[in-house]
Amino acid sequence: MSIATIARRSQKVLSDHSPAILTGAAIAGTIVTAIFAGRAGYKAGYSVALDEATGGTKANESDKDRRVRIAKDTWKLYLPSAVTGVGTIAAVAAANRINTNRAAALAAAYTITDRAFSEYKSKVVETIGEKKQTEIQDKILQDRMDESGERSALVMIGSNNVLCYDAFSDRYFQSSMEDIKKAQNDTNYELLHNMYVSLSEFYSRLGLPSTGYSDELGWTSDNKVDLHFSSTMTPDERPALSFTFHVDPIRNYHKSHA
């Protein structure tokens, strides 16, 4: 392997992990700044005490003049902590800028992919018909449940006695079609009045806890919540009412009407 290849790979690794590297540098910089500042304060205090003990204080010197004189005598002691402090701030700012740029690029890529997928789905329906497309969706839901395996035991107990499956979050819970449709209608009602709604709010109406990503996803008034229901069987042969979204929730939903 040539030196040029090693250099390029090393540069790529550093670029990929630059936020983590900069964050580590900022943590180290914070600690070093505190140490340097503590040492500088100790040395400055000792210098002032020694100066006053040896008669360095001028007669009739005002408090303001004394502070200015002390600052002039000790400011160099704080240079190391100032330098590391500026470096720490720069590292934090750089890491934030890189993460922001990457998030923007990811959001742009997601938007392009989502638009392409939406166009593809519409063409599929146009080509094979809605009935065939519904059959495909039902098979996909059944495949997802089959893949869930042992997770079918993770049932959330509710007041109703129908086992339901949310394909988007891969969760089972007890509810009914009426309650799920009510959650859908209530969410769409809020969409009409507030212009956007989060996935967490929809889950809350179902009595489900939010997930690690549901606060970041949601719908705008341009696309209402539209569920597709299907009767499926769990891997352990229990009937379940499954559903998925015709229009998946998107990122940055709350910024569309800002």
Q: Which two tokens stand for residue 121?
A: 């789905």
Collect all residues with Cβ–Cβ distance below 8 Å to 220 and sequence separation of at least 6.
191, 195, 196, 250, 253, 256, 257
Q: Is 133 exposed, middle or buried (0-12, 13-18, 19+ CB in 10 A)?
A: middle
HEC readout, the chain: CCHHHHHHHHHHHHHHCHHHHHHHHHHHHHHHHHHHHHHHHHHHHHHHHHHHHCCCCCCCCCHHHHHHHHHHHHHHHHHHHHHHHHHHHHHHHHHHHHHHHHHHHHHHHHHHHHHHHHHHHHHHHHHHCHHHHHHHHHHHHHHHHHHHHHHHHCEECCCCCEEEEECCCCEEEEECHHHHHHHHHHHHHHHHHHCEEEHHHHHHHHCCCCCCCCCCEEEECCCCCCEEEEEEECCCCCEEEEEEECCCCEECHHHCCC
Residue 32 Rama label (left phi>0; alpha psi -120 to 50; beta): alpha
The Cα 170–Cα 148 span in angstroms is: 8
With tokens 């934030």, the residue in question is 96
**Single-letter amino acid code for the residue at 109:** A
pTM over 0.75: no
Residue 164 main-chain phi, psi, to 5 deg: -120, 155
CA 134 to centroid of chain Cα atoms: 33
* Residues 77 and 40: beta-carbon distance below 8 Å: yes
Domain edges within the chain: 3-104, 129-255
Count the residues in the chain: 258
* Residue at token pair 């304060």: 41
Alpha-carbon distances, residue 108 vs 31, 77, 105, 112, 119 (angstroms): 37, 49, 5, 6, 17
Give, for all 258 residues of the chain, the pLDDT tens digit: 667 667 666 776 677 778 888 888 889 999 999 999 899 888 888 887 777 777 656 667 777 777 887 888 888 888 898 999 999 999 899 888 888 777 766 666 566 566 666 666 677 667 777 777 777 777 777 776 666 654 544 445 455 578 888 888 888 888 888 999 999 999 999 988 888 899 999 999 998 998 888 888 889 888 889 998 988 888 777 888 889 888 888 887 877 555
Assigned token pair, 206? 């179902």
